């Protein structure tokens, strides 16, 4: 028999009754019922119940061991009997009468329980992540991640994509976040940068003639954490294709997402094909460029209805309305709670009206609406008895943010929210540029390497704020999974695009020398995208925080509490790297 096990803890069935077996695993739980000891033994594959009877060496050994001790047990498989079967366990028809026990790894007192979700705080969990990962939910999430990545690789290869590796040590690049930099020992005063994304390298692979590339790529960005963003590092499915237009990129990615979410989504329906929603339309209808389409409500721009109005709350402001049907049975608390929610987002309040049975409007602001206002709102919003309308007024961006969130919350509270589904969409036609409100400077709004719609002619003849880029995002259930673009592969168009954003020719030639040199030796039209693996798994696992799907994440302050990173370097190491440290002075 094998030194440690003849079977795993998830393997034995009723057909094995009578067999002598050897198992190894962790003492998951222990119960003393009438002097008989029942032990749940756990390994990677499952749980098997052990039985030890009083007066036996096995009883004496198992009774004294702490939970999470690693043991090897020898015993005989016996039937639990019809009345004692555990239908929740694959091994629930049998148990092991233990004859011999060997301790393989003793366990110290635990900082928190493993066999229950006892609400221990995240910092403690991350400090003892190796214990946290023993919990069923976390173990399941990490295995889901492994299965998803394996399936992605298989499906991408089946569609003709070639997996390739790109460098980790490279040069800094303006990807929109801070770089993590690595000092060079051999080149004093110079630094490598960890890649924010393999952007330039995957484009260079296309220029090299490889046509269809993919990589499960580690990316590094020195940015703050969010529920859907891990600080420090993350993984993405990096994809690039040659001789393609926008729809050519959409087709394989849409196929991949549909198959992955159908395979691992636990029976939740996936909408297909994914709708294409222009950026400006998304901001008007949903208040967000990552709309949650499970909410079956839409915002309506009614700014023009109140132009010249004497109602000061709306006059001269951008006004968005949210019509909500079938709320006649909702109590006043429904309206008050939505108002409180809007205030929590930064609004001063949330104006609203209801449509009475006779078609008239009632509510806090009804008295401020003229007959003409009422008629236009009724027509524009298709109002009927039982409807309610919520209003937001202010600057465009502010109203979009607040009313976009109110749209989703109102849908959930009023029964207009679709559960148990994955609702995808493509957001397209992003503005190429945006204006900084404080400085007035024109800058890139999305990816600086994108091809402008209309090419060089658009850059030379149009207002920069009117130029659209061949840029796109894929969104699922209100979560942005990735951004992508058809790339700017022509040097003169690229130089002009950067010139509009304030970069002179010399700077661009210096910062992107490798890329521009490659473009000048014959570059194919190409485009790509990079869906976030961490976010995909977060959605599939139905977890609210991305750290719940990563084996060893940093905490919200970008610290590894388990390994103690980041750490200080000793002086001799700093001298070797030609570095000195200047710490901020305490305030």
**Residue in the structure block whose two tokens are 């009578």:** 18
Distance, CA of 287 to CA of 402 (rounded, Å):
8
- C-alpha count within 13 angstroms, C-beta hemisphere, residue 237: 28
Average pLDDT of span 247-273: 97
Instruction: For residues 434 and 417, give the distance between their C-alpha atoms in angstroms, rounded to a whole number.
Output: 33
The confidence score (pLDDT) of residue 134 equals 97
The residue assigned the tokens 């198959």 is 259
pLDDT tens digits, one per residue of 529-562: 999 999 999 999 999 999 999 999 999 899 999 9
Q: What is the mean pLDDT of residues 424-430?
A: 98
The helix (run of H) or strand (run of E) holding residue 246 is helix 246-264
SS (H, E, C) 444-464: ECCCCCECECCHHHHHHHCCH
The predicted structure's pLDDT at residue 174 = 61
CA gap 540, 145 in Å, rounded: 9
The percentage of residues in the chain with a pLDDT greater than 70, rounded to a whole number, is 99
Ranges 191-200, 292-301, 307-316, 348-357: which has the least confidence = 307-316
Q: Domains of the chain by range and CATH?
A: 14-105 (2.40.50.140), 124-279+540-587 (3.30.930.10), 295-417 (3.30.1360.30)
Residue 457: its pLDDT value, please? 97
> Residue 489 pLDDT > 90, yes or no?
yes
Task: Provide mean pLDDT across the span 497-512.
Answer: 92
Question: With 70 as the cut, is the pLDDT of residue 176 above it?
Answer: no
- List, for residues 279-300, the tens digit of each pLDDT value: 999 999 999 999 999 999 999 9
Per-residue confidence at 23, pLDDT binned at 50, 70, 90? Answer: very high
**Comparing C-alpha atoms, which of 362, 363, 369 is closest to residue 315?**
369
Contact 25, 105 (CB under 8 A): no
Q: List, for residues 81-132, the tens digit of each pLDDT value.
A: 899 999 999 999 999 999 999 999 999 999 999 998 888 999 999 999 999 9
Residue 413's pLDDT is 96
Contact 491, 514 (CB under 8 A): no
**HSE-up of residue 384 (Cα within 13 Å, Cβ side):** 3
Mean pLDDT of 575-580: 94
Which DSSP state fits 365? T
Q: What is the average per-residue pLDDT within 400-416?
A: 97
* Mean pLDDT (the chain, rounded): 94
What are the backbone angles phi and psi of residue 384, rounded to the nearest 5°? -145, 160
pLDDT band at 438 (very low <50, low <70, confident <90, very high): confident
Looking only at the bridges linking them, the beta strands covering 526-529 and 232-242 are: antiparallel
Per-residue pLDDT, 498: 94
33: pLDDT strictly greater than 90: no
* Residue 412: alpha-carbon gap to chain centroid: 21
Question: Tokens standing for 550?
Answer: 């990563």
Distance CA 552, CA 546 (A): 11
Q: Kindly state the tokens that stand for 242.
A: 């040659």
Q: What are the DSSP calls for 555-567, one per residue?
A: -TTS-BTTTTBS-
The answer, yes or no, to whether the previous bond of 230 is cis (omega within 30 of 0) is: no
- Would you place residue 274 in the very low, low, confident or very high pLDDT band (cuts 50, 70, 90)? very high
Q: Given a cut of 80, is residue 578 above it in pLDDT?
A: yes
- 553-577 confidence digits (pLDDT tens): 999 899 999 999 999 999 999 999 9
What's the whole-number mean pLDDT along residues 451-470?
A: 96
pLDDT of residue 341 exceeding 60, the answer is yes
Q: Compute φ and ψ for 499, nearest 5 degrees.
A: -60, -40
CA dist 494 and 43 (Å) reads: 56
Q: What does the pLDDT read at residue 477?
A: 97
CA dist., res. 243 & res. 484, Å (int): 15
Q: Above 60 in pLDDT, residue 175?
A: no
Q: For the chain, first and last CA: distance in Å?
A: 67
Supply the DSSP symbol for 303.
Answer: G
β-strands 424-428, 276-278 pairing: parallel
The token pair that represents 394 in the structure block: 């202010």
Please calculate the CA angle 215-260-152 and round it to the nearest 5 degrees. 20
Pairing, β 70-79 against β 94-105: antiparallel
For the chain, percent of residues with pLDDT exceeding 90: 88
pLDDT surpassing 60 at residue 195: yes
pLDDT exceeds 90 at position 34: no
Task: Give yes or no for a contact between 36 and 51, defined as CB atoms under 8 angstroms apart.
Answer: yes
pLDDT at 372: 93
pLDDT tens per residue across span 66-95: 999 999 999 999 999 899 999 999 999 999
């Amino acid at each position: 028999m094998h030194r440690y096990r003849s079977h795993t803890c998830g393997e034995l069935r009723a057909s094995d009754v009578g067999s002598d077996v050897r198992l190894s695993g962790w003492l998951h739980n222990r119960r003393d019922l009438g002097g008989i000891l029942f032990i749940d033994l756990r390994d990677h594959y499952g749980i098997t119940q052990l039985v030890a009877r009083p007066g036996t060496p096995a009883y004496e050994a198992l009774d004294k061991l702490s939970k999470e001790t690693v043991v090897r047990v020898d015993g005989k498989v016996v039937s639990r009997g019809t009345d004692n079967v555990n239908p929740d366990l694959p091994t629930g028809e049998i148990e092991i009468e233990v004859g011999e026990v060997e301790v393989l790894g003793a366990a110290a007192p635990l900082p928190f329980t493993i066999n229950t979700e006892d609400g221990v705080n995240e910092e403690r969990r991350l400090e003892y992540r190796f214990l946290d990962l023993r919990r069923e939910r976390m173990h399941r999430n990490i295995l889901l991640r492994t299965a998803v990545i394996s399936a992605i690789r298989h499906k991408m290869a089946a569609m003709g994509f070639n997996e390739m590796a790109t460098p980790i040590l490279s040069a800094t690049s303006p990807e929109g976040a801070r770089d993590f930099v690595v000092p060079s020992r051999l080149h004093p005063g110079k630094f490598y940068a960890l890649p924010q994304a393999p952007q330039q390298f995957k484009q260079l692979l296309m220029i090299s003639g490889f046509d269809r590339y993919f990589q499960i790529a580690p990316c590094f960005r020195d940015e703050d954490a969010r529920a859907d963003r891990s600080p420090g590092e993350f993984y993405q499915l990096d994809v690039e294709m040659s001789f393609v237009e926008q729809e050519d990129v959409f087709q394989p990615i849409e196929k991949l997402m549909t198959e992955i979410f159908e395979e691992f989504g636990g029976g939740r329906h996936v909408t297909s094909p994914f709708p294409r929603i222009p950026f400006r339309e998304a901001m008007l209808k949903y208040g967000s460029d990552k709309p949650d389409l499970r909410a079956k409500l839409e915002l309506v721009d009614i700014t023009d209805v109140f132009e010249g109005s004497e109602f000061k709350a709306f006059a001269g402001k951008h006004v968005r309305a949210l019509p909500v049907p079938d709320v006649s049975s909702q109590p006043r608390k429904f309206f008050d709670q939505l108002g409180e929610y809007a205030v929590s987002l930064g609004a001063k309040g949330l104006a609203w009206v209801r449509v009475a049975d006779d078609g008239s409007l009632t509510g806090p602001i009804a008295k401020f609406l003229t007959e003409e206002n009422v008629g236009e709102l009724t027509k524009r919003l298709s109002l009927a008895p039982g409807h309610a309308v919520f209003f937001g007024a202010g600057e465009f961006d502010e109203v979009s943010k607040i009313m976009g969130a109110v749209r989703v919350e109102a849908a959930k509270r009023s029964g207009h929210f679709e559960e148990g589904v994955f609702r995808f969409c493509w957001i397209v036609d992003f503005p190429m540029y945006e204006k900084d409100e404080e400085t007035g400077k024109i800058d890139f709004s999305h990816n600086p390497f994108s091809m402008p719609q209309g090419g060089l002619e658009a850059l030379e003849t149009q207002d920069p704020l009117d130029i659209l880029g061949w840029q796109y995002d894929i969104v699922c259930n209100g979560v942005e999974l990735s951004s992508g673009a058809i790339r700017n592969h022509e040097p003169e168009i690229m130089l002009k695009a950067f010139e509009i954003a304030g970069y002179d020719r010399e700077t661009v030639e210096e910062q992107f020398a490798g890329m521009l040199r490659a473009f000048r030796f014959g570059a194919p039209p190409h485009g790509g995208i990079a869906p976030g693996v961490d976010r995909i798994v977060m959605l599939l696992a139905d977890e609210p925080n991305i750290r719940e799907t990563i084996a060893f994440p940093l905490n919200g302050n970008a610290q590894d509490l388990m390994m103690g990173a980041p750490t200080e370097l000793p002086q001799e190491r700093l001298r070797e790297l030609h570095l000195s440290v200047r710490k901020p002075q305490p305030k």
